[in-house]
Amino acid sequence: MSENVLLQRSSKIIDSGEHDPQVDPINPLTNELHELNEQVAVITSFARVVAVKTNAGIVLFDTSTGVATEKVLSELRSWSQDPIHTVFYTHGHLDHVSGSGTVRQHAIDRGEPAPRFVGHQNIARRWARYRRTNQFNLDINSRQNNHLANPNFTIGPNAEARARGVNTFVPEDVVEPDTTFTDVFTENIGGLTFSVRHVLAETDDHSWIHIPELKTVIGADLISWNFPNAGNPQKIQRYPAEWAQALRDIIAVEPELYVPMHGLPITGHQRITTVLGDTAEALETIVDQVVDAMNQGHSLPRIVEQLRLPTELMAKPWLRPRYDDPEFMIRTVWRSYAGWWDGEPVTLKPASRTDVARALAEMVSNGLTLKAAAEKAVADGQLDVATELATYAAAATPEDPEVHRTLAEVYATRAESEPSTMCKGVFVDAAERASAKATELGG
Ligand SMILES: [Zn+2]
């Protein structure tokens, strides 16, 4: 057990704004218990487990992955022999909950009552979704983390599933919350108030916990000492706007200790304000730019091209994009406010890549222009391929009115051939825009 090393390290990094990861790892995965003060300890597993001593027993936040949990519990027992009174889940991601069966069994083996498990009502719904899409989740997690794969890599739910040698993403012995809540859950346990607030953030089942007597916040994955995991291309919707608001709300309760489930704990209200405020600002600037551009009628690809990422904030040691790519967040924000379509008419019902590739190869071997190739595709009855070629033609020679005229004709023809109102609406609009452009250019 080492004392406050993690707090010293985070203070050094935040106060200097500088960081050498070789000297000061921000996400040590040693499964060691660190006492942060007399009542609060963090165990550096993946994800972290936080323990709080109360007069009624230990209150635990998360349970880590199953492979680490035995070690987590032995570290915990070096710090306190009190029974575990309650386990709070910060959210339902498997690196946080997979050890729950082991924690429950640990209490039973000690002849103590099984602890109560408290979590947001959406946690069970998440696990039901994981079970419904079991193989898909095994696949996407394997893909997301495969550059980390090696025989010694024993962290994360993916390694967890491998270690168990089974093909179930959600462990069979995971403990569903027996006490759930919708927005807030407040309770005094052994002399301390646990004020739990649900927020939409990385997930829809996230909560952060304020313990006012200890001026402490347990911050779930709202801060991970990485650029927020708000853009993840393979995962379900994230909530960057609400995430930023949650960080502002935490700053407002003026905690002196902030304990995240990844990375380093932070001490001192000023430092907490710096890290949480910077993170909120990074999220807000992307959200605001995307929403403004949407209101100006820009398509998603154009927004991705034009948006200015907060590069200065991304250089801070607590916001470096080592996990998620901030550009991906643009798409998350779009998806928060729009349908799946990216706003480019050409992608609404795209031609197959094979058909477009064949048409391009033929175009090159016949020495045709893009415009001529588009017209040939119309004549061949391949309207979707014609749309792609005419779109390229208009992009390549935007000052040529004739290519816009061709594009307008292709869309007008396609609008007539489509049965659905939704499709006709987009294609008619595209035809009108291309036609107006051609007229504007004098065509
Ligand atoms: Zn996590």
Domains, the chain, in order of start with CATH, read: 2-281 (3.60.15.30), 346-440 (1.25.40)
For 121-135, what is each residue's pLDDT tens digit? 999 999 999 999 999
**Band of residue 151 on the pLDDT scale cut at 50, 70, 90:** very low
Task: Compute, in angstroms, the gap from residue 390 CA to the centroid of ligand 1.
Answer: 46
AA identity, residue 47 = A
CB 279 within 8 A of CB 228: yes
* Peptide bond connecting 372 to the previous residue in cis, omega within 30 degrees of 0: no
Task: Compute, in angstroms, the gap from residue 367 CA to the centroid of ligand 1.
Answer: 55
> Does 8 have pLDDT greater than 80?
yes
Which tops the pLDDT comparison, 138 or 307?
A: 307
Task: Compute, in angstroms, the gap from residue 42 CA to the centroid of ligand 1.
Answer: 15
- Quote the pLDDT of residue 393: 97
Task: Compute, in angstroms, the gap from residue 78 CA to the centroid of ligand 1.
Answer: 25
> CA-based angle 240:246:248, to the nearest 5?
110
Task: Compute, in angstroms, the gap from residue 98 CA to the centroid of ligand 1.
Answer: 12
- Quote the pLDDT of residue 122: 98
- Quote the pLDDT of residue 154: 45
Task: Compute, in angstroms, the gap from residue 359 CA to the centroid of ligand 1.
Answer: 46
Other CB atoms within 10 Å distance of the CB of residue 75: 22
Task: Compute, in angstroms, the gap from residue 95 CA to the centroid of ligand 1.
Answer: 6
Average pLDDT over residues 115-120: 98
Share of the chain above pLDDT 70, in %: 95
Average pLDDT over residues 195-207: 98
Task: Compute, in angstroms, the gap from residue 271 CA to the centroid of ligand 1.
Answer: 22
For 376-403, what is each residue's pLDDT tens digit? 999 999 999 999 999 999 999 999 999 9
Which tops the pLDDT comparison, 256 or 150?
A: 256
Task: Compute, in angstroms, the gap from residue 426 CA to the centroid of ligand 1.
Answer: 40
Contacts of 119 (CB under 8 A, 6+ apart): 88, 89, 91, 92, 177, 179, 180, 205, 207
- Quote the pLDDT of residue 82: 98
Other CB atoms within 10 Å distance of the CB of residue 354: 8
Average pLDDT over residues 20-48: 94
Task: Compute, in angstroms, the gap from residue 64 CA to the centroid of ligand 1.
Answer: 9
CA-CA distance, 197 to 206, in Å (whole number)? 8
Task: Compute, in angstroms, the gap from residue 322 CA to the centroid of ligand 1.
Answer: 14
Task: Compute, in angstroms, the gap from residue 222 CA to the centroid of ligand 1.
Answer: 9
> Does 333 have pLDDT greater than 80?
yes
Average pLDDT over the chain, rounded to an integer: 94
